[in-house]
């Protein structure tokens, strides 16, 4: 499973007729996953959604009364355009979402994120050849909420057949706080709450940065 697809491919399939990504939030096949991740967030935490797609998760946050800044990042022009028209603030005191068009292989945090910023990344890492580079760019000490599948699909570079497979790939970069499964052992999604480790966490205390 080494096939990868570019932004143009995703821009087409994300918004084509019949795409599940275009279904309204209440009919989205990822609604349960979105709800599981949203339940981990406090309304006053800033959120950066890496690979936000068509914005259904961000809409859920606003429907839940999220009032801190939310930023959606994606590399698909058409998906971001759909997200901008779909995700609207449902709380008057909530700032409108920010949108960033960016290839996640080149994404870097802007360096101004508040200490309570949480990064989310749902159904993205399995599509990336160099997923570890993206994880490394998440600022150390910040919460990183991820979901990855246990099943194969056309655009998946890898699958995670068990919780141990998720831990084995990311534990050197992430400290796992919780795990749950949406779906089944045959076709399910791992939902993980993690914290980005310091790159020097493994060093003796006197040498850590």
Cα-flanking dihedrals φ and ψ of residue 74, to 5°?
A: -155, 160
Determine the Cα–Cα distance for residues 63 and 57; give it in Å rounded to an integer.
10
Q: Using CB atoms within 10 A of its CB, is residue 54 exposed (0-12), middle (13-18) or buried (19+)?
A: buried
pLDDT score of 207: 45
Q: Where are the alpha helices (DSSP H) in the chain?
A: 7-15, 31-38, 56-63, 77-86, 131-137, 163-170
User: What CATH number was assigned to the domain covering residues 7-116+123-207?
Assistant: 3.40.50.150
* Structure confidence at residue 171 (pLDDT): 97
Q: How far apart are CA 70 and CA 175, in angstroms?
A: 24
Strand partners, 88: none
pLDDT at 185: 85
Name, in order, each residue with C-beta under 8 angstroms of 13's C-beta and a sequence gap of 6 or more.
Answer: 19
Q: What pLDDT does 39 receive?
A: 98
Domain boundaries, the chain: 7-116+123-207
Predicted confidence pLDDT, tens digits, the chain (209 residues) = 444 677 676 677 777 888 999 999 999 999 999 999 999 999 999 999 999 999 999 999 999 999 999 999 999 999 999 999 887 755 566 788 999 999 999 999 986 566 789 999 999 999 899 999 999 999 999 999 999 999 987 778 899 999 999 999 999 999 999 999 999 988 999 999 999 999 765 555 554 44
Predicted confidence at residue 209, as pLDDT, reads: 47
Q: What's the confidence (pLDDT) of residue 18? A: 85
The closest of 92, 101, 84 to 10, measured between CA atoms, is: 101
Among candidate residues 187, 191, 165, the one with its CA nearest the CA of residue 177: 191
Q: Which two tokens stand for residue 87?
A: 């995700």
Sign of CA dihedral 169, 173, 176, 181: negative
The pTM score is 0.89
């Amino acid at each position: 499973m080494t096939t990868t697809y570019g932004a143009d491919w995703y821009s087409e399939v994300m918004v084509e007729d019949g795409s599940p990504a275009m279904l309204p939030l209440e009919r989205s096949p990822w609604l349960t996953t979105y709800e599981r991740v949203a339940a981990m967030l406090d309304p006053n935490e800033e959120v950066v959604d890496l690979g936000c797609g068509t914005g259904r998760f961000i809409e859920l946050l606003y429907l839940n009364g999220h009032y801190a800044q939310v930023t959606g990042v994606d590399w698909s022009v058409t998906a971001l355009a759909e997200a901008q028209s779909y995700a609207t603030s449902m709380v008057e005191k909530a700032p409108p979402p920010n949108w960033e068009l960016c290839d996640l292989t080149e994404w870097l945090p802007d360096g101004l994120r508040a200490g309570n910023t949480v990064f989310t990344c749902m159904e993205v890492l399995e599509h990336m050849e160099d997923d570890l580079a993206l994880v490394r760019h998440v600022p150390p000490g910040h919460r990183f909420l991820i979901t990855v599948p246990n099943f194969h699909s056309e655009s998946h570079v890898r699958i995670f057949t068990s919780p141990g497979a998720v831990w084995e790939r990311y534990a050197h970069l992430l400290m796992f706080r919780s795990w749950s499964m949406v779906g089944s052992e045959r076709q399910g999604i791992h939902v993980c709450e993690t914290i980005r480790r310091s790159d020097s966490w493994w060093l003796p205390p006197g040498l850590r940065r």
